[in-house]
Structure 1
Amino acid sequence: MNSSQKTKISQEEVEHIAQLARIELNEKDKKTFSAQLTEILEYVRKLNEVDTEKAEPTAHATQLQSIMRHDQARSANSSPDLIKAAPANQDKCIKVKAVLK
């Protein structure tokens, strides 16, 4: 097939695809999907023609990198100074008002 020739998806092929997907289509939908699928195949054909020999493979479409720091496990600050600085404390713990009554 010539690369400039469009591959047309027929209404019969759309009907077959619909049967495989177990969906019902009316005649208008068959015409619409036939045209849309033809355009999708045309787009993919154009993408296949692009020379990618010199293009570097990428894992992402952009070169953005995460600027967030990595999580690091560390012990909580339970120093006596922290407990003393709290408005209320009891038995080496910070005392807070009841959340649930």
Structure 2
Amino acid sequence: MSLTLEEVEHIANLARLRLSDEEKERYRQQLSAILEYAARLQELDTSQIPPTSSVLPPRSVLRGDEPRTDLTLEQILANAPQSEERQFRVPPVLE
């Protein structure tokens, strides 16, 4: 699908862009190439491919969520600017 200069001007107007004549021609070529590629992709038969399929094997980059006790409550509260009754003391948000 090849775009016309009028269509590029309309798109630029919607995006509030001011384009020179050479920019309009360059964008016309680039957007036309993108639309042609999308049209080629639409021709592919994907009826046998599940919607959640991926070419990459499933893996998580996150570590497993395992509870552990690395710090004691006293060590954690030692980093607080203020603590009271074994809790963090923060300034009031609403009075």
TM (normalized to structure 1)?
Answer: 0.61
Uncovered stretches (5+) of structure 2, i.e. residues with no partner: 76-95
SS at match of 2:42: helix
Q: 2: distance between equivalents of 1:77 and 1:21?
A: 53
Selected match of 1:44 from 35, 38, 47 = 38
Deviation at residue 77 of structure 1 after TM alignment: 6.9
Task: Give the C-alpha shift of residue 64 in structure 1.
Answer: 3.6
Say which one has the larger Rg. Answer: 1
In 1, the alpha carbon distance for the partners of 2:65 and 2:9 equals 52
1:60: Cα distance to partner?
4.6
Using CA pairs below 8 Å that are at least 6 residues apart, which structure has the higher relative contact order? 2
For residue 76 of structure 1, report the CA deviation from its aligned partner. 3.0
How much identity, in percent, do the aligned residues show?
Answer: 38
Q: 1:41 to 1:77 in 2, by over 3 A?
A: closer
- After the TM superposition, which segments of 4 or more aligned residues of structure 1 sit over 3 Å from their partners? none
